């Protein structure tokens, strides 16, 4: 599933093609995504220029004078800028006409993605409950510490909860916990303030590094130009069960934590 770095990479790729421009057309080839696309979406998206392309958690926000299109890539979705002459792929469900020589196509084989419309995205029920952005100043180790008091759930489940902090999915949670030296199964309420400060910094570093190299390609993620992400080459624990720890050499363990396969080092993470 595309996580925050993949979504941010996509945002940066499509923003120059959209910001300040009014889509010439919006064609819905298949409205049956996770939620049905409203029939009014083409009319609203072509009503005025897209002033900004933002991101909130894993949602892309295409803002124009009438409101905002909320775009989610789901489990297999991608956005790519292409030539109109390029044959449409089997799972291209939404297409925005740009400046005559380019189109923006949304491809989603599993159809878990979504295109929704709202007049006030900050109050939308999918976005209003979300926690802080991990790369913004409001996200701190002290905030993690205060929010974790009395929590018996694992620290991994705690940081993967979007109400705690947005965009820390399975890959990056595993990597950040390893960098901070925290066992992913430890109860969140038992982690001290200083360790949460290290964890917050690790989350920022891991996500920042992943964004810098275009995200992580595990199956078929590519950016808006069709290029893969390269953070996979930097993974220290995720997907490496049974291999030696890159720090101490101990074989990495794998167990299900927070309902996800979780790889960790029994020596480096406590």
pLDDT digits (tens, 9 = 90+) for 41-58: 999 999 999 999 999 999
pLDDT digits (tens, 9 = 90+) for 200-253: 999 999 999 999 887 554 333 344 455 544 345 579 999 999 999 999 999 999
Kindly report whether the global pTM for this prediction surpasses the value 0.85: yes
User: Per 3-state DSSP, what percentage of the chain is helix, strand, and coil (rounded to 5)?
Assistant: 30, 25, 50
Whether the pLDDT of residue 139 is over 50: the answer is yes
- Indicate the SS3 state at residue 111: coil
Whether the pLDDT of residue 15 is over 70: the answer is yes
Whether the pLDDT of residue 193 is over 90: the answer is yes
pLDDT digits (tens, 9 = 90+) for 156-192: 999 999 999 999 999 999 999 999 999 999 999 999 9
Active site residues: 2-3, 58, 260
CA distance 60 to 7: 7
CA distance 237 to 29: 40
């Amino acid at each position: 599933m595309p996580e925050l770095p993949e979504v941010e990479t996509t945002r940066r790729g499509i923003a120059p093609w959209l910001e300040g421009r009014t889509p010439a057309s919006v064609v819905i080839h298949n409205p049956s995504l996770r939620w049905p696309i409203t029939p009014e979406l083409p009319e609203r998206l072509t009503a005025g220029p897209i002033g900004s392309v933002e991101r909130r958690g894993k949602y892309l926000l295409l803002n124009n004078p009438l409101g905002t299109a909320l775009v989610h890539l789901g489990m297999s979705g991608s956005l790519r800028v292409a030539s109109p002459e390029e044959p449409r792929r089997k799972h291209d469900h939404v297409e925005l006409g740009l400046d005559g020589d380019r189109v923006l196509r949304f491809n989603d084989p599993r159809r878990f993605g979504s295109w929704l419309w709202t007049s006030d995205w900050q109050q939308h029920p999918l976005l209003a409950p979300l926690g802080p952005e991990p790369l913004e100043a409001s996200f701190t180790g002290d905030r993690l510490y205060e929010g974790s008091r009395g929590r018996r759930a694992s620290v991994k489940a705690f940081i993967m909860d979007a109400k705690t902090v947005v965009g820390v999915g399975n890959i990056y949670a595993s990597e950040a916990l390893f960098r901070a030296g925290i066992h992913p199964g430890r109860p969140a309420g038992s982690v001290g303030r200083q360790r949460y400060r290290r964890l917050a910094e690790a989350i920022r570093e891991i996500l920042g590094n992943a964004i810098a190299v275009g995200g992580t390609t595990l199956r078929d993620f590519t950016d808006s130009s069709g290029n893969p992400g390269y953070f996979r080459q930097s993974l220290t624990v995720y997907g490496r069960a049974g291999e030696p720890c890159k720090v101490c050499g101990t074989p990495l363990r794998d167990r299900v934590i927070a309902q996800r396969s979780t790889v960790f080092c029994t020596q480096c993470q406590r």
